[in-house]
Amino acid sequence: MLSIKGAQRQIYDTAKAHGWWEDAAPNPAEKIALMHSELSEALEGYRNGNPPSDKLPMFSQAEEEFADVIIRVLDMAEHFGLDIEGAVIAKMKYNDARPFRHGGKKF
């Protein structure tokens, strides 16, 4: 099974090989905005009844777009040397110890 760190490296290598990191000074804000756009596409999928994906018909449109979000996050993380796998594990442990609804948050 592929680890998050392994996927992060593979995703970055693919993106780099396809020319997505040719800019001398990549703009983190632009990369984050593209993550937002994938979430918006997932929302549109749900607004349209979450039909099968046009590109991957064995998955729903939301599944495909959520995959794109994760791919973009891991791609950026690898480029900037971020430990997403470690952060996810640490955050899961932190959240497990938090109070119900994190002390009263509504949403």
Residue 83 lies inside a defined structural domain of this protein: yes
Nearest to 63 by CA among 77, 85, 46: 46
What's the pLDDT tens digit per position in 28-72?
A: 999 999 999 999 999 999 999 999 999 999 999 999 999 999 999
* The two structure tokens encoding residue 103: 């002390």
pLDDT at site 71: 98
- Domain count within the chain: 1
Contact 75, 12 (CB under 8 A): yes
Query: Would you say the C-alpha torsion 62, 94, 34, 1 has a positive or negative sign?
Result: negative
Residue 31 lies inside a defined structural domain of this protein: yes
Q: Which domain holds residue 18?
A: 4-98
CATH number at residue 52: 1.10.287.1080
Residue 104 lies inside a defined structural domain of this protein: no
Residue 107 lies inside a defined structural domain of this protein: no
pLDDT at site 107: 76
Residue 10 lies inside a defined structural domain of this protein: yes
Nearest to 26 by CA among 70, 73, 76: 76
Residue 103 lies inside a defined structural domain of this protein: no
